[in-house]
Amino acid sequence: MTARYESARGRLPENPNPHAKRVVLAHGGGGQLTDELVEGLIQPRLGNVYLDAMDDSAVFDVSAGRMAFSTDSFVVHPAEFPGGDIGSLAVSGTVNDIAVCGAIPCFLSLALILEEGLELDFLKRILSSIESTAAEAGVRVATGDTKVVPRGQADRIYINTAGVGVMRNDAVLGVNRVQPGDRVLVSGTIADHGLAVMLQREEAFGIESELRSDAAPLNGLIADLLDSCGESIVFLRDPTRGGLAGVISDLAEQSGIHLTVDETRIPLRHETNYAAEMLGIDPLDVANEGKVVVVVRPEAEDRALSVLREHPLGRHADSVGEFSDVLDGLCEIITEVGGRRIVQKPYGEELPRIC
Amino acid sequence: MALLETELADLATTIGRPVKLMEVCGTHTVNACRSGVHSFMPKAVDLISGPGCPVCVTAQRYIDALIELGRRNDTIIATYGDMLRVAGAGGSLEVARSEGADVRVVTSALEAVETAIKNPERDVVFAAVGFETTAPATASAIITAANEKLLNFSVLPAHKLVIPAMKALLSDPDIRIDGFLCPGHVSVITGGDVFGPIVKDYKKPCVIVGFGANQIMEGIVHLVRQIAVPEAQLENLYPEAALSRGNPIAQELIDRVFVPGMAAWRALGEMEESGLDIRPEFGKYDAVGRHGISFGEDREPPGCRCAEVITGRCKPLDCSLFAGVCTPIYPVGPCMVSSEGSCQAYFRYRRHELKSPMARVRVEV
């Protein structure tokens, strides 16, 4: 199928066919050009027995039991950034949402919304990134869709993925299981994704940095954790939008139990912290795409921490907080200098500071 | 930190009366709250926020005029992000934008000039708020616009000077302040010497500090040491950035474009020589004349105590709207809107100190 697409390009070497370099509206029209896109670009990378059937739905067998089902749309700007792109994000995001529910992700759907004029080379890069991230996560794209909108009506590419996973029997997760004494672990350095993306934007004052997004599928790490600690793992959540602050303040509020977090234990890269300071943003509020917050019974804390640290995605994991027996639903942080303050869920757009 | 904490407690005992210190910089307010500096303070020592948040001290009439200007079809408003959600008589700039007004958030005055260059058919108005810290950038933008002979750029000026505000607070018998944590950023521009009159004429200790939690705490201890003597001196604990004479290039920029003039402040009202007027030779870059702007009256939102908050008469927690009716998502007053406002800082970091059950109101995102 690749050959057919390549030959279409090859026939017009002197007068380059614009269709062969950029996405045109007809690529989303359901006709021959759509076929060319699907067969030439998508299937060679993502093809499998379910996708290749090209039916209106993917049909597959399920085991008896429960399933997890999740969806997420990705509109990140810019679409490519250090450490990842909208493709790796679209796979990791949905895989992680399924995995933190205690399910084993199996199948994804992939819906592409492309802007007219999008370079096909760019699209190929994104599709290759989807391919490699899906392979890393061990999930298959079982069904998909492509639409093209006129130039200016989308920002290059938007992706929606939905996914299903099979629930593990040994995962009993929920904020209602949180008890006084439980510990809170974070699987690695926070705020890397959000800041790496923000620094790519025009309004970032041209701050140069080595920062890379942490976008990665966490189902392997989470599987290790559940295999080793089972029901001692009480709750899992990936701190995406809203950052670590969103997760820990929700944990305290929804459990009704006071959570004390030690700021000095929160894994944070020096360069991330520096970038956050320059932009006037609290790293606690910044999105992560390859981290998980774990609530674990105190007796399993050490085991969970060593399992996390043995995994390549959890090397910088640390234990950052503990639920006390005060039932006020507040999350309190002990700051670097030993001061105390509460942690609040961020409430929306972060605005640049002016002074 | 433990040493400073112990010394502070000892000094407070020696002084034997309540001590009220004021920080006059939004960044100090936020960093003190965020690092939990308040949890080190003995009961007798109170750190209150002054008029240090540029958005918060901007008079309501200015906000109203800006929003009205934004609703004109041929105009682009270029503004710092913090101004976006401040409520005016007819909604906020954010609301105006959702209804079609062209409002662009910029991170510098020069970005506003670039917007004007890129949009030659539209009139770009830059909302110039801020203290001595942002004034040089506005001046530089106006000079750039003049050099480029731009015809579609102007500035709606609302720059404020810190010293007149501090003097106004000290002249008010209702407000008792024992010492000032002086703003580090402003001092970098103006030089530390500008705080001399506060020490000399008003006999109030002044300490210039940087922005880390340790520096803020150290500044507090230095202030309380002076109060314990008692004496009033100007101390500079931020000498690496704030020179005694400041930044002459920035000062020259301000002087070239602006001249001190009457300014209208929220809470403090109109004060002579407390703001910066655009000099007549740059008059065509003054949006007030260019767009025939007439300012209305300053009507505070009903029930809002921002005016008292920025003059240190009350704390955010004392306002009955705080955290219940007024939240960062649905802000009533500017101190809850601005990321440097003390109401927002209290909301984010110190809401647990609120005794009423309203403190537990869930923040919907």
Every domain of chain B with CATH number 3.40.50.11740 lies at 1-300
> How far is Cα B176 from Cα B170, in angstroms, rounded to an integer?
7
Amino acid letter for position A288 = N
Scanning A235-254 for CB atoms below 8 A from B yields 242, 253
Q: With a cut of 70, list the residues of chain B below it in pLDDT.
A: 355-365
Query: Within a domain: residue A120?
Result: yes
- Domain housing A199: 175-342
Q: What is the DSSP string of A192-248?
A: HHHHHHHTTSGGGTT------------HHHHHHHHHHHGGGEEEEE---TTHHHHHH
pLDDT range class, residue A21, cuts 50, 70, 90: confident
Name the β-bridge partners of A140. Answer: A107
Identify whether A47 is part of a domain: yes
pLDDT the model gives residue A344: 85
Question: Which residues 6+ apart lie within 8 Å of A239 measured at CB?
Answer: A186, A190, A246, A247, A287, A288, A291, A292, A293
Within chain A, residue ranges assigned H as helices are: 2-10, 18-21, 32-37, 43-46, 49-52, 86-99, 120-137, 192-198, 219-229, 243-255, 270-279, 301-310
More confident residue, A349 or A80: A80
User: Does B109 contact A at CB distance below 8 Å?
Assistant: no
pLDDT at A255 over 60: yes
Strand B153-159 versus strand B179-182 pairing type: unpaired
pLDDT for res B344: 94
Q: Is residue A350 part of a domain?
A: no
Question: Is A203 among the domain residues?
Answer: yes
Is A116 a domain residue? yes
Residue recorded with tokens 């290059």: A156
Distance CA A191, CA A265 (A): 14
Q: Which range, of A307-316, A337-346, B131-140, averages the lowest pLDDT?
A: A337-346
Record the pTM.
0.82
Residue A349: the pLDDT is 57
A164-207 pLDDT, tens per residue? 999 999 999 999 999 999 999 999 999 999 999 988 876 666 67
HSE of B343 in the Cβ direction (CA atoms, 13 Å)? Answer: 33
Model confidence band, residue A6 (pLDDT cutoffs 50, 70, 90): very low
Are residue A121 and residue A188 in the same domain, yes or no? no
Contact at CB, A352 and B81, closer than 8 angstroms: yes
Nearest-angstrom CA–CA distance, B158 and B275: 7
User: Residues of B with CB below 8 A from A340's CB?
Assistant: 36, 39
Distance from CA of B196 to the nearest CA of A (A): 23
Does B28 contact chain A (CB < 8 Å)? Answer: no
Identify the CA nearest to A291 among candidates A165, A191, A195.
A191
Any A CB within 8 A of B132 CB? no
Task: Based on the fold, state whether residues A156 and A44 are members of the same structural domain.
Answer: yes
Per-residue pLDDT at A5 exceeds 60: no
Question: Does residue A118 sit in the same domain as residue A151?
Answer: yes
Amino acid A9: pLDDT: 36
A199 and A114 share one domain: no
Touching check for A354 and chain B: CB below 8 Å?
A: yes
For residue B331 the two structure tokens come to 């802000």
Residue B363 and residue A344: Cβ atoms within 8 Å? yes
In a domain, A217, yes or no: yes
ipTM here: 0.75
Interchain proximity B107–A342, CB inside 8 Å = no
Look at residue A17 in the predicted model and tell me its pLDDT.
52
Q: Please tell me the predicted confidence (pLDDT) of residue A217.
A: 98
pLDDT value for A204: 63
pLDDT tens for each residue of A114-157: 999 999 999 999 999 999 999 999 999 999 999 999 999 999 99
Which chain A positions have a beta carbon within 8 Å of B82's beta carbon?
Answer: 351, 353-354
CATH superfamily assigned to domain B1-300: HypD, alpha/beta domain 2 (3.40.50.11740)
Instruction: Write down the pLDDT at residue B73.
Output: 86
Domain boundary among A122, A151, A167: A167
> Which residues of chain A does B130 touch, with a Cβ-Cβ cutoff of 8 Å?
354-355
Mutation pick from A261, A277, A337, A344 vs chain B, by most beta carbons of B within 10 Å, is A337
Q: Are A355 and B329 an interchain contact pair (Cβ–Cβ within 8 Å)?
A: no
Both A102 and A188 in a single domain?
no
Among A132, A167, A202, the domain-final residue is A167
| Domain identity same for A29 and A138 | yes
Compute CA distances B138 → A129, A191, B61, B101, whole Å: 45, 33, 21, 23
Within a domain: residue A111? yes
pLDDT of residue B222: 97
Do A12 and A37 belong to one domain? yes
Instruction: Give the residue among B340, B263, B286 at the shortest CA–CA distance from B141.
Output: B286
Same domain for A209 and A188, yes or no, is: yes
Please calculate the CA angle B53-B58-B62 and round it to the nearest 5 degrees: 155
Instruction: Quote the CA–CA distance of B289 and A345 in Å, as a whole number.
Output: 44
CATH number for A312: 3.90.650.10
Question: Could you give the C-alpha distances from A349 to A78, B26, B328, in angstroms and in order?
Answer: 17, 19, 11
The per-residue pLDDT for B355 is 67
Q: Is residue B319 a contact partner of residue B345, using CB atoms and an 8 Å limit?
A: no
Q: Which residue has the tokens 């004029």?
A: A117
My answer on whether A128 and A242 are in the same domain is no
Q: Write out chain A residues lying below 8 Å of B33, CB-based.
A: 341
SS3 state at B104: strand
Q: What is the CATH number of the domain that holds A23?
A: 3.30.1330.10
Would you say residue A210 has pLDDT above 60? yes
Judge contact between B96 and B66, C-beta under 8 A.
no
Rounded Cα–Cα distance for residues B310 and B51 (Å)? 5
Domain presence at residue A348: no
Per the structure, the count of domains in chain A is 2
A350 has pLDDT over 60: no
Of residues A253 and B357, more confidently modeled:
A253
C-beta separation of A201 from A211 below 8 A: no
Last residue of a domain, one of A109, A144, A167: A167
Pick from B260, B308, B312: which is nearest to B132 by CA? B260
Claim to verify: residue A182 and residue A36 sit in the same structural domain:
no
Claim to verify: residue A198 and residue A299 sit in the same structural domain: yes
CB contact under 8 A, B35 and A347: no
CA A352 to CA A41: how far, in whole Å? 40
Q: Tens digits of per-residue pLDDT, A48-60?
A: 999 999 888 999 9
* Position A1 pLDDT exceeds 50: no
